[in-house]
């Protein structure tokens, strides 16, 4: 074995009196020349375990039990002095972090940052490091490496930034590569490329890979062995095919069933607690009634968009400017009580489309007819009443909620602005009803956003939208960063609200399995234009455009 972790126990100090045990006696091993997947939800301890291997946990707030052992290639890492650990990590053990934009220095070129690893660990000269950096960028599939080597991280796409991180990680040809959620925020096509790249590098360099993820569908694409964690403990481990095809632990089975499937559309997705408790929701999802999707001839059109366009302008030269067409003459209709799914890679224009409809971007042309009025062309004063009727749930609930407001203030503010309710007493009652509707207790009113998990914050964001009683809700990647079990809860909530209030959704996502579950009609965008649009079942069954076919072929586990 290359890496052996035995009885790892990690405790964090919260303050002088309180501690929390994050990892509770975890043991696992990583064989030589193999890929091991470490799977679990947020808070399961998987990332903390990997950071302990790398020695990246803050010593002033971390307590590692003296009985714990992390042995790499015969060396006990926990017994090494700080200088010895520093020489080892980055050279023989390397790590790819989840968010490349926060891991790369924004004021240094990517070439300098990769070269720094080579100069630090291998003692290369600046000239030799640059030559080696160019070769690494080419190896990880960076387009035009000679130009990209002098680019800054902010000038690269998310997939290109992740390729830089991979190039940096393999620069010293490590024996063990730790990949911590390296594809979470990437489009399915880029995700597939990154997975293929890691798999190719693992075989060519005979590396061992510890791949950390919350998505079991990805595991089927890359892993030889699987370790499933929950609440800081290992629940199950074994060969990938054995764990995925015949899971022994109920928690593993629950993770497999919470994610939407392409071949089924149950009335409700099973959530983790339902499945662990063997409730009727889990049994129904396993083989019960299916939800029908699609537009019908008699559906009432609530929104009609024609040739909607949006251009951004950048300065070019001293007096010139260059136009970037982000949305190009997009047309579609949205029916009452139905969901339009919008899919495409990053840069396809799908989020810009949603923001332009809400006039958070100023349109460059086109119309959006809602209730007989053009939302695009009307004066700003006339648009104010329509803000109540069209709302948006943003992708990142951590950034879209004011951290200095309590949940009560977050819910009451829009009602006061739009004069909903006779007074604060009535508004508080409405806010409490909405919290109950999204599955949160009344006590949440007095708490701040930081006291909630990501899934709970997204529920608060949905409740805030519902204070307006909207007719149209734009969901912009609103479940993409959530664990599969929390994602199932939010999708069920959205479906319940649509069933009850006949709300119409514009559901923007790069997760095609989720779109298949939610959408009645799907619109595929590429480079700002619509390349294909059809009812959900028809598009997934018979995609006509090569780009749509490529997107569907890239779905993990498809």
Instruction: Check: CB of residue 408 under 8 Å from CB of residue 488.
Output: no
Could you read off the pLDDT of 61-73 as tens digits, one per residue?
899 999 999 999 9
Could you read off the pLDDT of 128-171 as tens digits, one per residue?
999 999 999 988 888 889 988 999 988 887 778 888 988 999 89
Q: What is the pLDDT of residue 557?
A: 65
Q: What is the pLDDT of residue 183?
A: 79
Least Cα distance to 514 among 227, 100, 215 occurs for: 215
Residue 363 has pLDDT above 90, yes or no: yes
Q: What is the pLDDT of residue 555?
A: 82
Domains observed in the chain = 1-92+176-246 (3.40.50.300), 100-171 (no CATH), 301-389+473-478+504-558 (3.40.50.300), 396-467 (no CATH)
Instruction: Check: CB of residue 295 under 8 Å from CB of residue 338.
Output: yes
Could you read off the pLDDT of 74-93 as tens digits, one per residue?
999 999 998 888 888 888 99
Q: What is the pLDDT of residue 43?
A: 78
Q: SS3 breakdown of the chain: % helix, strand, coil, rounded to 5?
A: 40, 25, 35
Tokens found for residue 41: 């939800």
Could you read off the pLDDT of 168-210 as tens digits, one per residue?
998 998 999 999 888 776 778 878 888 888 898 899 889 999 9
By three-state DSSP, how is residue 178 classified?
A: strand
Percent of the chain residues past pLDDT 70, beyond the cut? 97
Average pLDDT over residues 34-38: 95
**Cα Rg of the chain, angstroms:** 25
Tokens found for residue 181: 């959620």
Instruction: Check: CB of residue 518 under 8 Å from CB of residue 487.
Output: no
Residue 286 has pLDDT above 70, yes or no: no
Instruction: Check: CB of residue 503 under 8 Å from CB of residue 474.
Output: no
Tokens found for residue 64: 């590692």
Q: How far apart are CA 187 and CA 169, in angstroms?
A: 22
Neighbours of 150 (CB within 10 A): 12
Higher confidence at residue 397 or residue 198?
198
Q: What is the pLDDT of residue 149?
A: 94
Q: What is the mean pLDDT of the chain?
A: 88
CA 338 to chain centre: 24
| pTM of the shown model | 0.82
Could you read off the pLDDT of 423-447 as tens digits, one per residue?
889 999 999 988 888 878 899 999 9
Q: What is the pLDDT of residue 283?
A: 52
Q: What is the DSSP letter of 181?
A: S
Q: How far apart are CA 263 and CA 257, in angstroms?
A: 12
With b for 16 or more beta-carbon neighbours within 10 A and e for fewer, the 291-301 pattern comes to eebebeeeeee
Instruction: Check: CB of residue 146 under 8 Å from CB of residue 131.
Output: no
CA 40 to chain centre: 15
Tokens found for residue 92: 């023989």
Q: What is the pLDDT of residue 387?
A: 87
Tell me the backbone φ, ψ of residue 393, rounded to 5 degrees.
-110, 115
CA angle at 429 for the pair 435 and 488, rounded to the nearest 5°: 15
Q: What is the pLDDT of residue 278?
A: 66
Q: What is the pLDDT of residue 325?
A: 86
Q: How far apart are CA 490 and CA 143, in angstroms?
A: 38
Average pLDDT over residues 25-48: 91
Sheet of strand 320-335: strand arrangement? 320-335, 301-316, 365-370, 373-374
Only one residue has tokens 């919470």, namely: 258
**Which parts of 252-338 are beta strand (E)?**
301-316, 320-335
Exposure of 450 in the CB half-sphere (CA atoms within 13 A) = 3
Tokens found for residue 94: 């390397």
Q: How far apart are CA 68 and CA 81, in angstroms?
A: 16
Q: What is the pLDDT of residue 310?
A: 94
Could you read off the pLDDT of 445-456 as tens digits, one per residue?
999 988 887 778
Could you read off the pLDDT of 257-285 as tens digits, one per residue?
888 888 888 888 888 877 777 655 555 55
Residue 6 has pLDDT above 90, yes or no: yes
Q: What is the pLDDT of residue 304?
A: 95
CA angle at 451 for the pair 449 and 453, rounded to the nearest 5°: 85
Instruction: Check: CB of residue 492 under 8 Å from CB of residue 514.
Output: no
Could you read off the pLDDT of 90-115 as tens digits, one per residue?
889 999 887 777 789 999 999 999 99
């Amino acid at each position: 074995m290359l890496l052996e972790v035995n009885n790892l126990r990690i405790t964090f100090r919260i303050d002088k009196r309180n501690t929390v045990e994050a990892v509770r006696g975890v043991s696992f091993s990583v064989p030589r020349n193999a890929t091991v997947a470490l799977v679990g939800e947020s808070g399961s301890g998987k990332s903390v375990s990997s950071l302990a291997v790398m020695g990246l946990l803050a010593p002033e707030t971390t307590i590692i039990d003296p009985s714990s052992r992390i042995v790499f290639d015969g060396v006990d890492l926990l017994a090494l002095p700080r200088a010895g650990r520093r020489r080892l990590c980055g050279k023989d053990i390397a790590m790819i972090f989840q968010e490349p934009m926060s891991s790369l220095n924004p004021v240094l070129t990517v070439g300098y940052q990769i070269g720094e690893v080579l100069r630090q660990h291998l003692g290369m000269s600046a000239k030799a490091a640059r030559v080696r950096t160019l070769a690494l960028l080419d190896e990880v599939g960076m387009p035009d490496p000679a130009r990209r080597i002098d680019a800054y991280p902010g000038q690269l796409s998310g997939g290109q930034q992740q390729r830089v991180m991979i190039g940096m990680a393999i620069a010293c040809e490590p024996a063990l590569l730790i990949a911590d959620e390296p594809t979470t925020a990437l489009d399915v096509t880029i995700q597939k490329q990154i997975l293929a790249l890691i798999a190719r590098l693992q075989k060519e360099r005979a590396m061992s890979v510890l791949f950390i993820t919350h998505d079991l569908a990805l595991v089927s694409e890359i892993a030889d062995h699987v370790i499933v964690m929950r609440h800081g403990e290992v629940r199950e481990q074994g060969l990938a095919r054995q764990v995925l095809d015949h899971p022994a632990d109920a928690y593993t089975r629950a993770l497999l069933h919470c994610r939407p499937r392409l071949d089924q559309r149950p009335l409700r997705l099973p959530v983790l607690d339902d499945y662990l408790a063997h409730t009727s929701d889990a049994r129904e999802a396993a083989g019960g009634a299916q939800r029908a999707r699609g537009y019908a001839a008699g559906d009432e059109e609530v929104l009609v968009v024609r040739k909607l366009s949006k251009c951004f302008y950048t300065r070019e030269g001293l007096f010139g400017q260059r136009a970037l067409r982000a949305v190009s003459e997009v047309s579609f209709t949205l029916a009452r009580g139905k969901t339009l799914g919008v899919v495409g890679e990053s840069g396809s224009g799908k989020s810009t489309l949603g923001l332009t409809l809400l006039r958070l971007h100023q349109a460059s042309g086109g119309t959006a007819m809602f209730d007989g009025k053009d939302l695009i062309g009307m004066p700003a004063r006339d648009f104010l009443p329509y803000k109540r009727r069209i709302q948006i749930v943003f992708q990142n609930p951590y950034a879209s909620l004011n951290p200095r407001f309590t949940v009560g203030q977050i819910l009451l503010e829009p009602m006061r602005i739009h004069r909903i309710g006779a007074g604060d007493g009535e508004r508080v009652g409405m806010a409490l009803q909405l919290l109950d509707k999204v599955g949160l207790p009344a006590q949440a009113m007095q708490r701040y956003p930081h006291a909630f998990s990501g899934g709970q914050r997204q529920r608060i964001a949905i409740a805030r939208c519902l204070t307006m009683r909207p007719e149209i809700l734009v969901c912009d990647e609103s479940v993409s960063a959530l664990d599969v079990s929390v994602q199932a809860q939010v999708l069920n909530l959205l479906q319940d609200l649509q069933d009850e209030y006949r709300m119409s959704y514009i559901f923007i996502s790069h997760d095609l399995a989720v779109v298949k579950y939610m959408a009645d009609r799907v619109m595929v965008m590429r480079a700002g234009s619509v390349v294909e649009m059809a009812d959900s079942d028809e598009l997934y069954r018979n995609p006509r455009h090569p780009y749509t076919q490529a997107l569907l072929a890239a779905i993990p586990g498809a």
